[in-house]
Amino acid sequence: MNNVTENPPRNGEGDRPQDGGGVEGVGADPSTTTLRAAVPLPVPGRNERGFTLVELMVVIVILGLLATIVVINVMPAMDRAAATTARANISQIEEGLRIHKLNNGRYPTAEEGLAALVPATIDRLPNDPWGNPYRYSLPGRDGKDFTVTTWGADGREGGSGENEDISN
């Protein structure tokens, strides 16, 4: 009698007897044992396709374009914010100068400068948004009592855009 169990046919194997996974010559009749091709087990991720160099380059170019658009739109806003900060600082210094006049009967002299406001009137004297000190002149321009000015991003008198002078 044969030790091989017979299973119903699968996947087009016909009526051939199955060997039950035995190895030829070990506990089975060699005339009825069939050899099957080894089928590799599926490995997770093995059949998944990676990105090609072209796909990666397209993504990098798209990200570069988006970054450029963001920078183009954000930079002018930063310039406007710096100018707004300078105007707010100048207003604060103007108020300090007016308080100094109320307390002392006069504005600080050009030699005393804005340093005369600290600490009696203003806690600290701010620099402009570009890191330069504000300029004080007495008497001021255009008939004003005084002028407080910043020379903008370039730190030089005159200019336009972000280099424009800002004063009271």
In angstroms, the first-to-last Cα distance of the chain is 113
> Is 0.85 topped by the overall pTM?
no
The pLDDT, as a whole number, for residue 40 is 73
- Widest pairwise Cα distance in the chain: 127
The pLDDT, as a whole number, for residue 29 is 64
- What is the mean predicted confidence (pLDDT) over 28-56? 74
Report whether pLDDT(59) > 90: yes
Report whether pLDDT(131) > 80: yes
Report whether pLDDT(1) > 70: no
Contact yes or no for 134/148 (Cβ under 8 A): yes
Report whether pLDDT(155) > 80: yes
- What is the mean predicted confidence (pLDDT) over 135-157? 91
For 82-167, which CATH superfamily applies? Glycoprotein, Type 4 Pilin (3.30.700.10)
The pLDDT, as a whole number, for residue 50 is 83
How is the chain split into domains, by residue range?
A: 8-39, 82-167
The pLDDT, as a whole number, for residue 13 is 54
Of residues 30 and 80, more confidence is placed in 80
The pLDDT, as a whole number, for residue 17 is 52
Report whether pLDDT(76) > 70: yes
The pLDDT, as a whole number, for residue 41 is 73
> Which of 17-26, 92-101, 154-163 is least confident?
17-26
The pLDDT, as a whole number, for residue 10 is 60
- What is the mean predicted confidence (pLDDT) over 12-39? 59
- Which residue shows structure tokens 């000190």? 133
Contact yes or no for 77/154 (Cβ under 8 A): no
Residue 166 backbone dihedrals phi, psi, to 5 degrees = -125, 130
Cα gap 141→133, rounded to integer Å: 19
